[in-house]
Structure 1
Amino acid sequence: MEQISARDLTVGYGKAVISDATFQVLPGEIIALIGPNGSGKSTILKTITRQLKKMSGKLFIGEDIDDSLTEVELAKKMSMLMTERIHPELMTCFEVVAMGRYPYTGRLGFLTAEDKKKVEEAIALVGAEDVANKDFMKISDGQRQRVMLARAIAQEPEIMILDEPTSFLDIQYKIDILSVIKKLAVERNIAVLMSIHELEFVPAIADKVIGICDGSIYKIGTPEEIFTGENLEKMYRMKPGTGDRIISGLLEYSKCLK
């Protein structure tokens, strides 16, 4: 099974946003990237998924340097769910999910019976059967997010990169999607790296947390190790004493999600 390893990775847009980042995500593990807006979480994910070129350092997909993999080879190993909205014209949800099979279908994109089965399984896993034949542009944001997650699942990845997968969703959609992600990591041994703003979900979903602050990785550890008042105050520039009160509420809330 594949994993992600970054060594002294520097990422940014001409100017470094995050410097000298070293971390790894193992098969079956969910790593949550946390930090304030603009701290560089999405920049790291976009670099891993080749939407941005890394500035320096090394990035490994399994034992391979990422640059050595073709786009198709990478697509067979890694799927992504990013914050950018897609706008497919006149496509059903089934057809959108089927886009996840394109690394396996060749240039013409014809689906075999096995491909269609994989698509149907992915749709069922996220509970989107009721919208499978509906126009993707005519369903709710929560339903679209389910469909996009199904597309990532249909790709049969060993690694999943998720950029704020629960943003702008109602609470039940958030819980449903995070539950599916947790199930995928455990049952399919997928390495998951995800950015997330909703800190209240992190103790229930993440095996480890990467905290980002001031242009670098501040700390890496379990949720229990990262979620201290002092750490939150440092990362989010809170007033002294604020962090402990927030931690108390987060830990109580997380008990409802496990």
Structure 2
Amino acid sequence: MSYCEANDLAVGYNSPLLEHIKFAAERGQILTLIGPNGAGKSTLMKTLAAQLAPQGGTVLLDGQSLSVYSPNARARKMALMVPHTNRTELTTCFDVAAAGRYPYTGRLGILSEEDKKQVFDALHLVNAADIADRDFDKISDGQRQRVLLARAVCQEPEILFLDEPTSFLDVKGKAELMTILRRLAKEKNTAIILSLHELDLAQKLSDAVVCVSLSGVSDIMTVKDAFQKENIQKLYKMSAEEYTFLFGEKEPPKFEHYIRSGQKLLRCGYTTGTCAALGA
């Protein structure tokens, strides 16, 4: 069942950048937006997450228009993680992550013991518990990404938006992030919508894909269809030579066949052992 739905949506600043957008995300599903820089992925993401007003159409959340939710009610259902740019003053990593609990704390923003537990659990989940007491401005960019993800996680959202979450992460950090997102989707039934530039990661992580370009936004696509050579070349306006340089050619078909031994099939290829078996 659809949880977040774009219904003839138009997005942009003052005037539409992209129009007639129609797709839906489900809980427990990872939906990835791919496309070139400047195509509008971030603008679309912020509109879905109620950070920007639609230029037309509607966004439905759990069957209701976003406009009917109060800010606090929205914050209990959705969280947005964007690459960190703003500087903070005398703020620990724990404090930054704890901001995700404000929809639950009331007007005074006082954390209960349960709130603190949620924050520490989120920091542990993203492998950032060891830097909880450190100044947020004095850690690496990759560590900041972890803390911001913890802030989103401890918000306990039913849908999580992540705009280029792998920015600043090294290879191990990217692998850990992908594992965390998969766990959130499958174990907590969270709907996840994210944008990625790393097509290899997107292909491994995604349950479904939406392609975003200046010419428009695609319907929901299967991973297989989205990453077909022809679609990627068209989406990124990439020549065959450029595609081959980045991704190589498809593997040539392997020479192999099967022979039956009793009730089992034995696969045979080029090796002397299998050729001998076939001869026997």
Change (3 A) 1:223 1:2: closer
Instruction: Kindly indicate whether the alpha-carbon contact (under 8 Å) linking 2:23 and 2:219 is maintained by their aligned counterparts in 1.
Output: no
Which sits farther off after the overlay, 206-215 or 73-82?
206-215
Identical aligned pairs, as a percentage? 43
CA distance in 2, matches of 1:88, 1:250: 48
Deviations 1:64-123 (A, max 9, x none): 100110100000000110124232211111111111000000111001111111111101
CA distance in 2, matches of 1:245, 1:228: 16
CA distance in 2, matches of 1:161, 1:215: 23
RMSD: 1.9
One-letter amino acid of the counterpart of residue 203, structure 1: Q
CA distance in 1, matches of 2:71, 2:11: 20
Equivalent residue, structure 2, for 1:47: 47
Question: Where does structure 2 lack aligned partners over 5 or more consecutive residues?
Answer: 252-280
Counting only pairs closer than 5 Å after superposition, residues 42-191 of structure 1 correspond to structure 2 as 42-191=42-191
Equivalent residue, structure 2, for 1:211: 211
Deviations 1:183-234 (A, max 9, x none): 1111100000001111110121110010112331135312111101110111
Give TM-score scaled by structure 2 length.
Answer: 0.85
For the pair shown, which has the larger CA radius of gyration, 1 or 2? 2
CA distance in 2, matches of 1:158, 1:85: 25
Change (3 A) 1:183 1:196: same
Instruction: Kindly indicate whether the alpha-carbon contact (under 8 Å) linking 2:76 and 2:155 is maintained by their aligned counterparts in 1.
Output: yes
Equivalent residue, structure 2, for 1:37: 37
CA distance in 2, matches of 1:95, 1:219: 39
Deviations 1:133-185 (A, max 9, x none): 11111111111100000000000000001000001322211111121111111
Equivalent residue, structure 1, for 2:26: 26
Using CA pairs below 8 Å that are at least 6 residues apart, which structure has the higher relative contact order?
1
One-letter amino acid of the counterpart of residue 207, structure 1: D
Question: Where does structure 1 lack aligned partners over 5 or more consecutive residues?
Answer: 252-258
Which sits farther off after the overlay, 67-76 or 239-248?
239-248
Instruction: Kindly indicate whether the alpha-carbon contact (under 8 Å) linking 2:45 and 2:163 is maintained by their aligned counterparts in 1.
Output: yes
Note the C-alpha offset of 1:249.
7.5
Equivalent residue, structure 2, for 1:256: none
Which sits farther off after the overlay, 25-34 or 176-185?
176-185
- How many residue pairs end up in the alignment? 251
Instruction: Kindly indicate whether the alpha-carbon contact (under 8 Å) linking 1:220 and 1:226 is maintained by their aligned counterparts in 2.
Output: no
Change (3 A) 1:228 1:219: farther
Instruction: Kindly indicate whether the alpha-carbon contact (under 8 Å) linking 2:12 and 2:43 is maintained by their aligned counterparts in 1.
Output: yes
Deviations 1:38-65 (A, max 9, x none): 0010010111222211011111010110
Instruction: Kindly indicate whether the alpha-carbon contact (under 8 Å) linking 1:228 and 1:244 is maintained by their aligned counterparts in 2.
Output: no
Change (3 A) 1:250 1:45: farther
Which sits farther off after the overlay, 80-89 or 120-129?
80-89
CA distance in 1, matches of 2:242, 2:140: 36
